[in-house]
Each structure stands twice: as C-alpha cells, then as structure tokens.
Amino acid sequence: MGLMRALVVSALSNDFAGCALTELPIPEPGLGQVRVRVHAAAINFPDLLQTRGEYQYKPTLPFVPGIETAGEVDALGPGVQGFAVGDAVVGHARVGGYAEFIVLSAGDLRRKPARLSFSEAAGYGVAYLTAYVALVRRARLEPGEWVLVHGAAGGTGLACLDLARHLGARVIAASPSEAKLQIIARDYAPDATVNTASGFLERVRAITGGRGADVIFDPVGGDVFDESTRCIAFDGRLLVVGFTSGRIPTIPVNIPLIKGFSVMGLRAGEYARRFPERGVENQSAIWALAEAGHVRPRVDQEFPLAEWRDGFARLIERKTIGKTILRPDL
C-alpha cells in the first residue's frame, strides 16, 4: 500500500494551527465503495468551520476536510456496478476531499458532466443545490419576478443569480464591492447591480418601480437582513441562508405581518433529509442543468494542495468571485 498527501486536522483551532499536510496510507475501497483519484476539491465555509469545531457536523479527530470533490475512478470495491476505472466522477461526502485519493460509497458519486472541468464540477453541487432549493422549492420563483441576491460574488450567491436568470426572473446582484459587481455584470449580465456598502433600500425600490424585490436571497444577515425587510415586496419571500456578517439578526413579527412577506429558512441538505424523494429530484435537476449548459459555474482560482492556506485565506478575506478550488493533482 502506497502513501498519499492529505490535509489532516489533528486539533481544532481558529487559526488552522491544527491543520497540516501529511502523508497517509492510500485507502482501499470496501464493499460497494469506489476509490477516486482527486483532481479538484472545492473550499466551502463548512469545511473551514469544521477545522474550528464550529459546524453542525463535528468529525472525530483526526480527519481530512473536504466536502466536494471531482476526479477519476481509481479502483472499485466488491459489488460496485455502473462505474469503471478511469471514469470522470463527482463526489460528495462529509469529509475527505483534501487528499490525493478518497474512498466513497458508489451512491455518493455521479458522472461528471462533460461540459464541466474537474474544478467546475467540484465547486458546482453545493452551490447550485442551495440555489435550487432556495428558488424552486422554498420561494417557488415565478418568471418575471424580481430577485435580489446578496453576496452575489460568493459561490452560492453567484449560483443563485445564475439559476434565477435561467428561470426567467429579473435579477439584482448585490455586493459591497464595486470591482466584483463589474465582473459579475460583465460575465453574468444581471438586470441590475447594487453596491450595498452605503445602503441599498432606495436603489432597489427604484429598480423595481417602487414595488420592491419579490425574492431576497440573504447569506449575509446582520444589517443586510434588516434593510432587506424594508425593500421587499408585498407577498415577498426573504430567504435566510446564513450569517457571513457575523450577526444573527432578529425581526419583530409585526413587520412581516404589516408588509405581508415571509421569512424562510434554507438548509438544502436538511431539506433532502426531510424529503428524500424531493432530494433526489433536486440533485437530478441541477445536474441536468449542468449537462445541458443552462448554467455556468465560475472557478475563481485554483491552488495546489500544498498551498491550502492561501486558498483558505482567499475565502476568509472574501476575495473570491465564484468558487476557490484545491488541486491535489498539482
């Protein structure tokens, strides 16, 4: 049995002091399992939170982080059907992706869409699943409605913007960075952009003809949530996705009562656990969109596995537009 490089978390720490690039034995696939040579692994906020012990799922130490991967089938365990050595695949697991090899259940793999590179495929699933559950399942978005997407430059925000446009909505991309908005406007052509650094209430009202946004996608929370409640349309849907601002906001219930809007929580993974059949349908839907080329995931930057700290820092410092990827094959 040979050795592989992997990023191992041996202790929980806020500054990643417990993380180190280490050599581990290459894992052998068991019954119903597939070993994948990892070409690309996405960096997601849950991956970083796991290294601090701050995510809902807390793996037993030591562990290798990495939720989303893409690569080639390297070996098959007993009983595996439908895959062959050399197949290009995409995998999803709670941990394990930041390594040169990962062993996954065959049920956690799907074939990589030919239109997507390994890096695009690795960063596709979580972001677009979140966007799909948000817009289709929770908000039940209708063509022609106005969608305000906060954090539009992030992985999930950009996916939401991309999917909303495909679904026929009118989209406002929101970010506190004018430079990011210029790139988003150039590459994704939203109907409008809003710089949220100095407030956005009046701008959104003007864009929507005084109506306000029908759907607001908010992964930021804090002041952004507060102001969103003031520029949402009657019968609107305010999607609570996360709190990257660091403040979990509160709202007096008389505000949605008077203004006639709904506040909806969004956890795409939990939605699938609660409604397994819909979860399968959601996955099929988003990967069919990728196969057909209806949506365009964006890879911001790729880093060799040895430069994991630079990749983590890019996400933490919010420098990304799209997804940041680790490349164990470099």
| pTM exceeds 0.75, yes or no | yes
Q: Under a CB-based contact definition with an 8 Å cutoff, are residues 122 and 41 in contact? A: yes
Closest to 150 measured CA to CA, from 21, 318, 310: 318
**Residue 55's pLDDT is what?**
87
Task: Give the C-alpha separation, 18 to 62, whole Å.
Answer: 9
Secondary structure element (H or E) that encloses residue 213, with its range: strand 213-218
58, two tokens:
């807390």
CA distance 87 to 23: 25
Q: How far is CA 67 from CA 70, 94, 322, in A?
A: 10, 5, 17
pLDDT for res 300: 94
- Please tell me the predicted confidence (pLDDT) of residue 269: 87
- Tokens of residue 49, six digits: 């939170």
Residue-level pLDDT at 1: 67
Say if residues 31 and 106 touch (Cβ distance below 8 Å). no
Q: What is the pLDDT of residue 245?
A: 87
Tokens found for residue 264: 């909806």
Q: What integer pLDDT is reported at residue 36 of this predicted model?
A: 98
Instruction: Kindly tell me the sign of the dihedral angle through the C-alpha atoms of 156, 157, 161, 167.
Output: positive
List helix spans (H) across 103-194.
Answer: 118-122, 125-132, 155-166, 178-188
Query: Phi and psi for 205 in degrees, rounded to 5?
Result: -60, -40
Q: How many CB atoms lie within 10 A of CB 107?
A: 9
DSSP H or E stretch at residue 285: helix 276-292
Rounded CA separation 199/59 (Å): 39
User: What does the pLDDT look like over 190-206, one tens digit per residue?
Assistant: 999 999 998 999 999 99
Scanning the structure block, which residue is given the tokens 């793999």? 109
Q: With a cut of 50, which residues of the chain have pLDDT below it?
A: none
Question: What is the C-alpha to C-alpha distance for residues 3 and 305, in angstroms, rounded to an integer?
Answer: 15
Bridge partners for 34 per DSSP: 76, 104
Question: How would you write 70-84 as a 3-class SS string?
Answer: EEEEEEECCCCCCCC
Collapsing DSSP states into helix, strand and coil, what is residue 330?
A: coil
* Tally of CB atoms within 10 A around 260: 11
Domains present along the chain, CATH in parentheses: 3-124+297-327 (3.90.180.10), 127-270 (3.40.50.720)
Q: Residue 37: CB partners within 8 Å, gap ≥ 6?
A: 71, 72, 73, 74, 100, 101, 329
The end-to-end CA distance of the chain, in Å, is: 21
